[in-house]
Structure 1
Amino acid sequence: MFYGAVVWDPWLIVGQIVCLQCLYYLTLGVFLSILVGFRVSRMSLIYFFDYSTLTASTITGWCAIASFILSALAGASYMLHLVERAKKCLDFSATLYIIHLFICIIYGGWPSSITWWIVNGTGLAVMALLGEWLCIRRELRDIPTPRFRSSV
């Protein structure tokens, strides 16, 4: 979709990052609404950005963890369509999670929960590796060429 010109285009890169970040949070919101929304009386941004909600000691925490991992899986497929290059998947995944870390620091302070770091590190690895694998599969597909028969 966005892959094209050989020239370095910073606006394209910023656009890809913004699109990927928005799609990630949209997907996270859907998964949180489905998995956590039925367990709590009121959904809020605390489930997105507060490190204390990612805990393995409650069912709601496990549902939030599952939402983050499922969003990372979906993020890999978004990278297949937005980034389209296997060698850029790690860069875009790391950028997404670094931006998420900064937003979490602004929202709720430095994440001091080991569970938060494990979940986000796993999400980063899943998104980068699966995104690379999907992009490599697309890059290695045969290029269809029309077969013309000569009438000579």
Structure 2
Amino acid sequence: MFYGAAAWDPWLIVAQIVCLQCLYYLSLGLFLSILVGPRVSKMSLVYFFDFATVTASAATGWCVIASIFLSSIAGAGVLVYLVERASKCFDFSATLYIIHLFICLLYGGWPSSVTWWVVNITGLAVMALLSECLCMKRESRDIPVGRYRSNV
């Protein structure tokens, strides 16, 4: 989608990061509203950015964990079209989760929950590995050649 001929284009990279971050939070919001929304009285940013909601001791926490994993799978699909190169998938995935960590730091302080760290590092690994696999599959497709050649 955004892949161009220039090897180094910082504005392109920033645009890709912003698009990826926005689409990740859109998918996370969708999955949270589907899985967590019916279980709570009011949805808020707490489920996005507070480490205390990512817990394995409550059913709502498991729904938050499932939403994070589903968003990382959706993010892998987005990376295939946004980045288009398997060699860049880990970089963009790590950037997404580092920005997410900084937003969580600003929102609720340092995530002291081991569950939060395990879930987010696993989400990073799922997003990076799945997007690399999908990009390599896409890059190795045959280039379609027309059945009829022009007489040039």
Short-chain TM bin: over 0.9
Q: Deviations over 1:80-123 (max 9, x none)?
A: 01000000000000000000000000000000000000000010
CA–CA distance in structure 2, aligned partners of residues 9 and 81 of structure 1: 18
Once residues 8 and 149 of structure 1 are traced to their aligned partners in structure 2, the CA distance between those partners, rounded to angstroms, is 36
Q: Is 1:17 matched up with 2:17?
A: yes
Q: Specify the alignment match of 2:56 in structure 1.
A: 56
| Separation in 1, partners of 2:149, 2:29 | 54
Deviations 1:53-75 (A, max 9, x none): 00000000000000000000000
Look up the equivalent residue of 2:83 and give its one-letter code: V
Partner of 1:87: 87
Within 5 A, what are the aligned runs for 1:21-60?
21-60=21-60
RMSD, aligned CA: 1.3
Distance in 1, Cα, partners of 2:27 & 2:7: 31
Change (3 A) 1:46 1:140: same
Give, in angstroms, the shift of residue 150 of structure 1. Answer: 9.6
Query: Cα offset for 1:147?
Result: 3.5
Question: What is the deviation of 1:145?
Answer: 1.0
Counterpart check, 1:4 vs 2:8: no
Q: CA deviation at 1:7?
A: 3.1
Identity across matched positions, percent: 74
Separation (CA, whole Å) in 1 of partners of 2:83 and 2:7? 15
SS at 2:117's partner residue? helix
Cα deviation, residue 143, structure 1: 0.5
Q: Report the AA paired with residue 97 of structure 1.
A: Y
Shift in Å, 1:149: 6.7
Aligned residue pair count: 151
What's the secondary structure of 2:39's corresponding residue?
A: coil
Partners of 2:87 and 2:139 lie apart in 1 by 11
